[in-house]
Amino acid sequence: GILLIFDEVMAGFGRTGRWFAFEHYGVSPDLIVFAKGVNSGYVPAGGVVISDAISRHFDEHMFFGGLTYSGHPLAMASIVATLDAMHEEGVVENAASIGQGTLGQGLARLAREHAIVGETRGLGVFHALELVSDREHRTPLSASAMGEIKHALLAEGMLPFVAENRIHVVPPCIVSEAESQRGLAILDKVLGEMSAKHAT
């Protein structure tokens, strides 16, 4: 009897290897919020997909809302062009293939081989490595150690997305196998060095 709302702003439009993340879980949300993935962020855009039941409510009730740029022709054209290109170029299929293959398997290997990795999790090209100083107790790696890791990754040519004790591994949906392997090699080198230094 409750409404199920999925926030697909980051996870939607191919990031998890499906058009939407909810498709992995066999559920039908009542509302789906989305934004940048719908047009690769070329023009600011966002929206909400609503179920038939919610839509029917507005047959009899006024929706008192609206924004200055709602339905802007430039934003709408960028969405149509992006979705057409994603279909034609197999972007979602590439994210699924890389995520299940090179990237997902490579991150799982890093988690097995480096004591500093407490867990890897993700779908498609939407993953995270959780870094710990003590794997048994899942003790988060310190901020200073994470800063050191970030600096080392930058020195190797990788621009990392670091938050708390996580490295978010979120390459673009068009990432190639070779690019994935290069990124994994950089992570492997840095995590090996840092495991020796920070893992107990």
- List all residues 6 or more positions away from 171 whose beta carbon is below 8 Å from its beta carbon: 98, 103, 125, 179, 180, 183
CA distance 31 to 172: 26
Assign 197 a pLDDT band (cuts: 50, 70, 90): confident
pLDDT computed for residue 13 by the predictor: 96
* pLDDT of 63 over the 80 cut: yes
Asked if residues 4 and 29 have their Cβ atoms less than 8 Å apart, the reply is yes
pTM of the model: 0.88
pLDDT computed for residue 133 by the predictor: 92
- Quick: pLDDT tens for 134-184: 988 899 999 999 999 999 999 999 999 999 999 999 999 999 999 999 999
Asked if residues 112 and 92 have their Cβ atoms less than 8 Å apart, the reply is no
User: What DSSP character marks residue 99?
Assistant: I
Per-residue H/E/C for 133-191: EECCCCEECCHHHHHHHHHHHHHCCCCCEEECCEEEECCCCCCCHHHHHHHHHHHHHHH
Mean pLDDT taken over the chain: 93
Domains annotated for the chain, with CATH where assigned, are 5-89 (no CATH), 91-198 (3.90.1150.10)
pLDDT computed for residue 67 by the predictor: 77
User: Which among 86, 45, 88, 50 is positioned nearest to 67, based on CA atoms?
Assistant: 45
- Between 70 and 128, where is the model more confident? 128
CA distance 62 to 82: 32
- Quick: pLDDT tens for 71-117: 889 999 999 999 999 999 999 999 999 999 999 999 999 999 999 99
CA atoms within 13 A on the CB side of 192: 8
pLDDT computed for residue 195 by the predictor: 87
Rounded to an integer, the average pLDDT of 14-43 is 94
